[in-house]
Chains A and B, each alone.
Chain A
Amino acid sequence: MNESTEHIEYVLGLLDEPTDRLTERAIKASPEQRRAVANWSLIISDHLLSQCESRPLPGWVWSRIERQLDHQAKDVGSALRRWRMAAAIVAMIGIGLLVGVFVPHQPAMNADSIAMMPMAQGQSATWEAKADTATQQIQITSLTTTDQPANKQAVLWLITPQGQTVAVGRLPMNKGESVTVRPALWSNTIAQTTLAISLEPTGKPIGNKPVGPVVWQGDWSKAS
Chain B
Amino acid sequence: MSMKPNRSNKDRNQDDDQLTQWLQATAAGDRSAFQKLYQRTSGPLYGLCLRILKEEGRAQECVQDVFLAVWQQAGRFDPARAQPMTWLAAIAHHRAISLLRRFNREITTADWADFLALADAPLLSPEGHQGGSVDGDPHDWQLMDREAMTRCLEALRAEPRQAIHKAFWFGHTYQEIADELSTSLSTVKSWIRRALINLKSCLGLVN
Residues of A that sit less than 8 Å from B by CB: 1-3, 5, 8-9, 11-17, 20-21, 24-25, 27-28, 31, 34-35, 37-39, 41-50, 52-58, 61-62, 64-65, 68-69, 162, 164-166, 184-185, 187-188, 205, 207-209, 211
Please give, as numbers and ranges, the residues of chain B lying within 8 Å of A38 by CB-CB distance.
90, 115-119
User: How many B residues, CB 8 Å from partner?
Assistant: 85
A35 interface neighbour in B51, B106, B118, Cβ under 8 Å: B118
Q: List 19 A-B contacts (CB under 8 A).
A: A9-B192, A14-B173, A24-B106, A38-B90, A38-B119, A42-B81, A45-B89, A47-B149, A49-B2, A52-B3, A54-B43, A55-B47, A62-B35, A62-B42, A164-B72, A164-B114, A208-B26, A208-B72, A208-B74
**Given the contacts A43-B149, A55-B47, A8 and B196 also touching, CB distance less than 8 Å:** yes
* A5 touches which of B3, B67, B81, B197 (Cβ 8 Å): B197
**Cross-chain contact of B89 among A20, A46, A64 (Cβ < 8 A):** A46
CB pair A54 B44 closer than 8 Å = yes
- Among A15, A44, A68, A211, the residue within 8 A (CB) of B29 is A211
- Distance to closest chain A CB from B124 (angstroms): 11
Which of A13, A28, A57, A211 sits near B60, CB closer than 8 Å?
Answer: A57
**Set B38, B89, B98, B105: member contacting A49, Cβ < 8 A:** B89
A34 engages B118 (CB within 8 Å): yes
Determine the chain B residues whose CB is within 8 A of the CB of A43 once the complex forms.
145, 149, 203, 205
Contact A41 B175 (CB under 8 A): no
Q: Which residues of B contact A50 (CB under 8 A)?
A: 2-3, 5, 146
Once the chains bind, are A48 and B60 in contact (CB under 8 Å)? no
Q: B204: shortest Cβ distance to chain A, in Å? A: 11
Confirm or deny: B156 has a beta carbon within 8 angstroms of a beta carbon on chain A: no
Q: Which chain A residues border B150 with CB–CB below 8 Å?
A: 47
**Selected contact of A208 from candidates B29, B44, B168, CB within 8 Å:** B29
SS class of chain A's interface: helix, strand, loop or mixed?
A: helix
- Cβ 8 A contact of A41, one of B29, B44, B93: B93
A11 to B95, CA, bound (A): 10
The answer to whether B2 and A187 have CB atoms under 8 Å apart is: no
Interface contact B101-A13, CB-CB below 8 Å: yes
Other than A11-B94, A12-B167, give 16 A-B pairs with Cβ distance below 8 A.
A1-B201, A5-B200, A12-B168, A44-B90, A46-B86, A47-B168, A48-B48, A48-B169, A50-B2, A50-B3, A52-B47, A52-B51, A55-B46, A61-B60, A65-B67, A162-B111
- Chain B residues within 8 Å of A, Cβ to Cβ: 2-3, 5, 26-31, 35, 38, 42-44, 46-48, 50-51, 60, 63-64, 67-69, 71-74, 81-83, 85-87, 89-90, 92-94, 97-98, 100-103, 105-108, 110-112, 114-120, 122, 142, 145-146, 149-150, 167-169, 171-175, 177, 192-193, 196-197, 200-201, 203, 205-207
In the complex where A5-B196, A38-B119, A49-B85 touch, is A16 in contact with B174 (Cβ < 8 A)?
A: yes
Query: Are B47 and A20 within 8 A (Cβ)?
Result: no
Contact B86 A45 (CB under 8 A): yes
- Whether the pair A49, B86 counts as a contact (CB closer than 8 A) is yes
Residues of A within 8 A of B30 (CB): 207
Contact B43 A42 (CB under 8 A): no
Quote the shortest CB–CB distance from B115 to chain A (angstroms). Answer: 5
With A5-B196, A164-B73, A209-B29 as known contacts, state yes or no: A62 contacts B171, CB within 8 Å: no
The 6 closest A-B pairs by CB, nearest first: A207-B29, A13-B97, A54-B43, A38-B119, A45-B89, A45-B90
